[in-house]
């Protein structure tokens, strides 16, 4: 291949395809518009000036577009991170918050390099479905305050916005329906002089770009011990939300992403954000769904432009953006909520066929997320519940059958299934110690030993037979089981 051909192969899709370029640019603009009120709201949760949240969304989006592992995913200031670091800001001040964001970023880089992303393989599908559904519910719930105690024109504006997003794509998909909806509703609001809540009512928009600097804290061990717990919590919550969102986008786009690079990229983005005085963040499921599912974006350009447009809109077009009715953005987020929810998972036909344990796991995941407003809590609790359900299910798969020799001199116990802490607990009680003949054979050719609990159970069986003067022979061990048994047998109990 010639150097020119190799260079063409390295070019992003949007450079050579005008259609892709248009899709990415318009998607970035829609996301930027949706980011403004969200960033301001999360700033209020964290107890900082709205400008801090907007700066964080700008630096996170621009940085992750370059160093992240999942194309088209949006990272910005988020509510989950705001909830984690709000107590630190409240008790110790903004300087400590910035220090925690920087430390959290470094921790995410370390965790990413250590392979924390590989843990994603242990997230069951039922937890993933619960994560998606709870996310859709949270996105909708976040819009409810914008529909309470508001002037009556807000409601027809929201309905009109939803109608535009449903029917406009039937006319053309050249321009994202959310962008059309926002534009038309803004024109109607301004032209009719409607007194409804606008973006400008949320807070003051920045008038200049952020300036890098160091956090205003003493560089002492006491500072480190103060910020470390918050930084560690932020690092874990941010990584979990980002990796779960990346996995969701993988499924939607039918593509694979580098989760390790995404983990390290999230860390780098938070370090950069901290040095620019931002409040930190992680992947945003709502804005990511706008970008990927609603607008059809697929490249890094849309993520980069979402951050770049955010600052342009605030600094250059601040007065225009301030006039956008919140009803328009509420309609967009309600549509995102409906599009995100996995309706098939709650269909009666699906629920009838689904194992009861998986339904329980999904419901617990949703309940925990909705109750705590913390996606990480729901994922952890849901995963632990799934493990318990799985352990109970396979605990009954270990079967024991006995065959006595015709002359009555030997009995062979054939053990079938997986032997681990849950299934091996009942193993000891499956043998007839008093009535069995002098020679007992335990055939494990159809079983596998997974842990020390199983070895201890086999030792206990041998001990019980030995107390009655009977010999036990264990046969049929596969190589891994034989290695584990040989290493641990006789070492787990005191005689």
Task: State the chain's maximal CA–CA distance in angstroms.
Answer: 101
Whether 325 and 185 have beta carbons less than 8 Å apart is answered as yes
CB 273 within 8 A of CB 121: no
Look up residue 294 and give its DSSP letter: I
Radius of gyration, CA atoms only, the chain = 29
**237-258 b/e with 16+ CB inside 10 Å = b?**
bbbbbbbbbbbbbeeebeeebe
Determine the Cα–Cα distance for residues 206 and 222; give it in Å rounded to an integer: 33
pLDDT at 436: 92
How many angstroms from the chain centroid is the CA of residue 81?
13
> Are 54 and 39 in contact, with CB atoms under 8 Å apart?
yes
Task: Measure Cα distances from 90 to 46, 148, 228 in Å.
Answer: 8, 28, 16
Strands 439-449 and 410-419: parallel
Instruction: Spell out the residues 6+ positions from residue 371 whose beta carbon is closer than 8 angstroms to its own.
Output: none
The CA distance from 433 to 464, in Å, is 7
Q: Is 349 exposed, middle or buried (0-12, 13-18, 19+ CB in 10 A)?
A: exposed
CA atoms of 373 and 359, how far apart (whole Å): 21
Separation between Cα atoms, residue 353 and residue 130, nearest integer Å: 17
> Rounded to whole angstroms, how far apart are CA atoms 335 and 418?
47
pLDDT in tens, the chain (495 residues): 555 544 444 455 556 678 888 999 999 999 999 898 888 878 877 888 889 999 999 999 999 999 999 999 999 998 878 878 888 998 999 999 999 999 999 999 999 999 988 887 778 889 888 988 987 888 888 888 889 999 999 999 999 999 999 999 889 877 888 889 999 999 999 999 999 999 888 888 888 899 999 999 998 999 999 999 999 989 988 998 899 899 989 989 999 999 999 999 999 999 999 999 999 999 998 889 889 988 889 999 999 999 999 999 999 998 888 999 999 988 988 888 888 888 989 999 988 988 888 999 999 999 998 888 777 788 889 999 998 888 777 766 678 999 988 888 899 999 998 888 887 877 888 899 999 999 999 999 999 998 998 999 999 999 999 999 999 999 999 999 999 999 898 876 654
In the chain the first and final C-alpha atoms are separated, in Å, by 72
- Three-state helix/strand/coil letters over 187-242: HHHHHHCCCCCEHHHCCCCCCCCCCCCCCCCCCCHHHHHHHHHHHHHHHHHHHHHH
Cα separation, 210 vs 426, whole angstroms: 64
């Amino acid at each position: 291949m010639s150097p020119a051909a190799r260079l063409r192969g390295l070019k992003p899709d949007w450079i050579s395809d005008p259609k892709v370029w248009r899709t990415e640019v318009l998607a970035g603009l829609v996301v930027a518009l949706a980011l403004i009120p969200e960033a301001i709201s999360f700033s209020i949760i964290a107890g900082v000036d709205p400008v801090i949240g907007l700066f964080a969304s700008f630096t996170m989006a621009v940085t992750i577009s370059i160093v992240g592992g999942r194309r088209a995913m949006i990272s910005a200031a988020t509510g989950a991170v705001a909830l984690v670091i709000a107590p630190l800001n409240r008790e110790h001040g903004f300087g400590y918050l910035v220090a925690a964001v920087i430390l959290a970023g470094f921790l995410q880089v370390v965790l990413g390099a250590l392979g924390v992303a590989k843990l994603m393989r242990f997230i069951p599908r039922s937890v993933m479905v619960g994560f998606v559904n709870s996310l859709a519910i949270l996105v909708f719930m976040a819009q409810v305050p914008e529909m309470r105690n508001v002037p009556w024109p807000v409601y027809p504006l929201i309905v009109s916005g939803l109608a535009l997003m449903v029917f406009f794509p039937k006319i053309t998909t050249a321009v994202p329906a959310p962008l059309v909806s926002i534009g038309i509703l803004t024109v109607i609001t301004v032209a009719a002089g409607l007194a409804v809540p606008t973006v400008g009512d949320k807070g003051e928009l920045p008038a200049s770009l952020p300036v890098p600097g160091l956090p205003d804290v003493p560089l002492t061990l006491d500072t480190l011990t103060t910020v470390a717990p918050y930084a560690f919590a932020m690092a874990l919550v941010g990584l979990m939300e980002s990796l779960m969102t990346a996995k969701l986008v993988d499924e939607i786009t039918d593509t694979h992403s580098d989760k390790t690079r995404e983990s390290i990229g999230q860390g780098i983005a938070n370090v950069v954000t901290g040095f620019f005085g931002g409040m930190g963040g992680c992947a945003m499921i709502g804005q990511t769904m706008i970008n990927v599912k609603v607008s059809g974006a697929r490249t890094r350009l849309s993520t980069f432009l979402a951050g770049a447009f955010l600052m342009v809109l605030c600094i250059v077009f601040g007065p225009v953006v301030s006039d956008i009715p919140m009803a328009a953005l509420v309609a967009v987020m309600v549509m995102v909520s409906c599009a995100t929810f996995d309706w098939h998972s709650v269909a009666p036909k699906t629920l009838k066929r689904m194992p009861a344990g998986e339904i329980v796991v999904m419901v617990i995941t949703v309940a925990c997320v909705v109750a705590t407003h913390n996606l990480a809590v729901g994922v952890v609790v849901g995963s632990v519940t799934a493990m318990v359900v799985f352990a109970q299910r396979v605990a009954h798969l270990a079967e024991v059958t006995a065959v006595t020799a015709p002359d009555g001199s030997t009995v062979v116990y054939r053990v079938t299934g997986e032997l681990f802490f849950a299934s091996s607990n009942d193993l000891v009680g499956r043998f007839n110690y008093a009535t069995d003949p002098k020679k007992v054979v335990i055939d494990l050719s159809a079983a596998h030993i997974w842990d020390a609990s199983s070895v201890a159970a086999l030792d206990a069986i041998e001990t019980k037979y030995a107390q009655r003067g009977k010999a036990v022979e264990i046969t049929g061990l596969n190589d891994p089981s034989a290695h584990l048994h040989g290493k641990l047998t006789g070492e787990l109990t005191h005689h």
